[in-house]
Structure 1
Amino acid sequence: MSENMVMSIVKEALYTSLLVGGPILILSLLVGLLVSIFQATTQIQEQTLTFVPKVIVIALTLALGGNWMLNELIKFTTKIMNMIAVIKG
């Protein structure tokens, strides 16, 4: 196993993790920001107020994009397993 192969595996792993986790993180960040702006304008200082909207958005994101996310992870895992099989001989 060469250094270039290891670097390509790491690069693809990071890309896949960003591709799969990115939508959830971005949407939860936007919801948190909107709820924080709402809290600042209404002066409601309830810390648990951001939890429920974030959970709802994350659940909706997983319900709508979960199939695609799972397929991306399966493709990556299959590629890694095939690489292991080739290296083992």
Structure 2
Amino acid sequence: MNQESVMTLAHQAMYVGLLLAAPLLLVALVVGLVVSLFQAATQINESTLSFIPKLLAIAITMVIAGPWMLTTILDYLRQTLTNIPTLVN
């Protein structure tokens, strides 16, 4: 296993991790922004108010994007495990 193969594996792992985290992070960002705008407009300064909408939005996103996320991680895992013999040599 040379340096190039290790770097390729690390790059692929980071790419898949970013690809899987992006929908959840974007949903949390948008919901947090909307709740913050609502709080600013109504002058409600409660920090716990944004927690429940973010939690619900992330849960809904997990239900909707869950099959795609599972397929993506399983494809990556299958590809990585299949390539182990070629990486060892």
Q: How high is the TM-score relative to the length of structure 2? A: 0.91
Return the offset for 1:88.
4.7
Return the offset for 1:86.
3.4
Q: How is 1:9-88 mapped onto 2 (pairs within 5 angstroms)? A: 9-88=9-88
Task: Give the root-mean-square deviation of aligned CA atoms.
Answer: 1.3
Q: Mind listing any 5+ residue stretches in structure 1 that lack a counterpart? A: none
SS of equivalent residue, structure 1 residue 44: coil
- Whole-Å separation in 1 of the counterparts to 2:86 and 2:9: 14
Residues 31-60 of structure 1: CA deviation (Å, up to 9, x unaligned): 001101111111101111101110111011
Report how many aligned residue pairs link the two structures. 89
Q: Mind listing any 5+ residue stretches in structure 2 that lack a counterpart? A: none
- Whole-Å separation in 1 of the counterparts to 2:88 and 2:4: 18
